A and B are shown apart, each in its own frame.
Chain A
């Protein structure tokens, strides 16, 4: 993994109106970088702003505040048509809701080939077809599927169509919003292996949004934990699982269901109570050990660092 920054997200905010005098701060001051060739995992509670983060990065929304730089260039800035086209090809998104993101009136062939057509990536009809067949196979479907329509597929099969479509234009950066949650474990494993292999071969960079923590840990180099629009913890994947610090991260880890019925019958969850923090001081994102960041007050910062030293010396 290089230290070259592919994406820099600076104080990103995305607020939505809710009724007349209510605002949902879906994303509320996010700052992090994604390095070239890495997989950055983003996890957190339902509704905490993960999809909105992805959608703001890829410019589906005009952000309320903040900046997103892709290779040093502001993505929100004004662009002419050809610049936009280039940008769209470099950055692709696999959407959380596979059904509503696939045009029901188009065949699978045309859905997957859409990007190939727009960017002129196939010399002729033969090559176009061959590419689509190859992509279908890559995601564990077969060429017989090419002439079918989205509604003829199962939930997991549709999700794979979304993946094939994103891969079709050879992007550099893929935002994968829950790309595998709708898949059974064996196909999850196939897709994750595939994403890893493509990453190795093509140097792809991923923002991987998910809630399945064992998969996220497996695929990610670094993981950010989000809570109500803010990052509360950010660390290397191993470190986050071995030494979670923020109480929300801890509660999240304690809730992972294991395929072990007896254990599940006796499981104890740690419940996160946000009111446990001292609210008189605005918490900040601080580095408690190299590359391990936690949102905390100055007092919590001292405690976390001390705890951390104890676990290291023990």
Chain B
């Protein structure tokens, strides 16, 4: 498969007065042409920081790339000048930010904001951009677009703002689309429509998508591959079927086990015990060890490398070492996987 983006051993830190926050601590992955790679993982694990770095959008000077490279079009993005980045941003690579209000200008009419990118990157005239903007608002299901163009962001609902941001990102048919929790503020019906829309556009222009979300149902729906992050690292990566039906990392087990099912009526939801590590002084061994009931002694001493499960599936846990004791996923996770029995597909 053709690689469009190559991230190698990326390390990103922030200087704060408490010390250096090591937000991303060695992330490696490829993005293939036309695929959707989902990134899931704990809040604060470095998903947004990783993808902001891909866009050259770290807050300077206190956010910086410590090590590693990001190769796009034979160029290392981490080494580009701001003027070069600006040419890529919003044209070749475009991003839907997690917090829609931060990417919308509160003092500028919504319509003008959508038109801006079209005029800048697509060389459209004003009238053409206006028409296209209305079309885009229609695409993301905003009713009454002509009147809505003249409103300000605060007059939109949370999900409508998010849809505006999606419209802006899709405006110039980017080669890489980074979507950071794009459908988080949307109800499931509109979410489903937006996901279908993204897939359509992907098919048309062969866009590669990095999709950050914590909704594992959405991941199952959109992703070809999944990367699971914990404390600044990818701890498991594989095809969506591998990660959902044959998860190997205890953190992935914890994630899959925390989702309530519609049938469940337990008193308390399973939550991974403990809190994530402090990234100013990350632990020496496996960052997840302290919360992992399957942790081995070596987990507290040495970081596990990526072990190969298949050509496409890797996980960073000592449990995969040939000398490690054989451990099964927790009952709840096994039950959940078994319950996804597709042998009688037609009856479901």
Contact = CB atoms under 8 A, between A and B. Distances in A.
Contact of A259 (B98, B99, B244, B345): B244
Given A18-B147, A186-B42, A192 B218 contact: no
Contacts of B335: none
A187 B255 CA distance: 10
Nearest to B41: A184
A45 B259 contact: no
A159 to B, nearest CB: 8
A132 B156 CA distance: 33
A142 interface: yes
Interface string A171-194: 000000010011111111110110
Contacts of B100: 97
A128 to B, nearest CB: 20
A44 B188 CA distance: 9
A178 to B, nearest CB: 7
B4 to A, nearest CB: 23
A120 interface: no
B189 A251 contact: yes
A32 B294 CA distance: 48
A18, A97, A261 — most chain B CB neighbours (10 Å): A261
A219 to B, nearest CB: 9
What bracket does the count of chain B residues touching chain A fall in? 35 or more
A53 to B, nearest CB: 11
25 contacts: A46-B160, A47-B143, A51-B158, A96-B158, A96-B185, A99-B102, A152-B16, A152-B21, A155-B181, A157-B43, A181-B185, A187-B43, A187-B271, A211-B159, A211-B188, A212-B215, A215-B260, A252-B188, A255-B188, A257-B217, A260-B217, A260-B340, A262-B340, A262-B342, A264-B217
Interface of A: 16, 18-19, 22, 43-47, 51-52, 96-100, 140-142, 144, 147-148, 151-157, 160, 178, 181-190, 192-193, 196, 211-215, 217-218, 241, 251-252, 255-264, 266-267, 269, 272
Interface of B: 14, 16-18, 21, 40-44, 48, 59, 98-102, 143-144, 147-148, 150-151, 155-160, 163, 181, 184-192, 214-221, 223, 240-241, 244-245, 254-256, 258-262, 264, 268-272, 275, 278, 280, 340, 342, 345, 348
